[in-house]
């Protein structure tokens, strides 16, 4: 009588398919949880940032309106009021155009959402492909 344990038999195709199904389901669920967590963190930060930016923007508008009125008043000392308002208005439109171009360039450099999840899914796919090729 031998005391050594007998080696376990190789799992059957049915058992392997069951394992594959459960592991695939778990992998998909884990990836979805990771993506959801990344999106929640991004949305929370975006919401806080948008709220603060809105408040700052409103205060800046009031300050800008005061400076515009002061610029028109200063120019009206040497020009008619209508000409001073026209010059200041044109300068504001030029500044708005420059700001729009800079904003457009920044928007084109936005990274895709959930880069960590995308990288993780790509790693999973690569590993599954490698494992499949190793068995053949």
Question: CA–CA separation, 15 vs 22, rounded Å?
Answer: 11
Q: Which residue has the higher pLDDT, 63 or 114?
A: 63
**pLDDT (average), residues 125-134:** 80
Residue range(s) defining the domain that contains residue 40: 24-125
**pLDDT of 7 above 70:** no
Q: Is residue 8 assigned to a domain?
A: no
The C-alpha atoms of residue 25 and residue 18 are separated, in whole angstroms, by: 11
Lowest-confidence segment of 6-15, 82-91, 93-102, 123-132 by average pLDDT: 6-15
Residue 132 lies in a domain: no
Q: pTM for the complete prediction?
A: 0.44
What average pLDDT does the segment 22-32 reach? Answer: 90
Size (the chain), residues: 136
Give the number of domains in the chain.
1
Residue at 72 is within a domain:
yes
Is residue 13 assigned to a domain?
A: no
Which residue shows structure tokens 């669920």? 29
User: Has residue 6 been placed in a domain?
Assistant: no
Q: Pick from 110, 123, 125, 114: which is nearest to 32 by CA?
A: 114
With a CB cutoff of 8 Å and minimum separation 6, the contacts of 76 are 84
- Pairwise CA distance, residues 123 & 115, whole Å: 12
Domain membership of residue 130 (yes or no) is no
pLDDT at 1 over 50: no
* 133: Cα separation from own chain's centroid: 35
- Give the pLDDT score at 5: 56
Tell whether 131 is covered by a domain. no
Is there a domain that residue 98 lies in? yes
């Amino acid at each position: 009588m031998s005391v050594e344990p007998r080696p376990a038999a190789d799992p059957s195709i049915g058992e392997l398919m069951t394992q594959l199904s459960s592991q695939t389901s778990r992998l998909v669920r884990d990836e979805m949880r990771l993506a959801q967590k990344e999106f929640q963190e991004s949305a929370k930060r975006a919401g806080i940032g948008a709220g603060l930016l809105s408040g700052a923007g409103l205060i800046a508008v009031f300050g800008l309106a005061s400076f515009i009125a002061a610029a028109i008043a200063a120019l009206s000392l040497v020009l008619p009021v209508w000409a001073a308002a026209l010059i200041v208005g044109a300068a504001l439109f030029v500044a708005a155009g420059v700001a729009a171009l800079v904003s457009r360039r920044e928007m084109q450099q936005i990274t895709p959402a959930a880069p960590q999840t995308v990288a993780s899914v790509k790693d999973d796919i690569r590993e599954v492909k490698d494992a499949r090729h190793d068995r053949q």
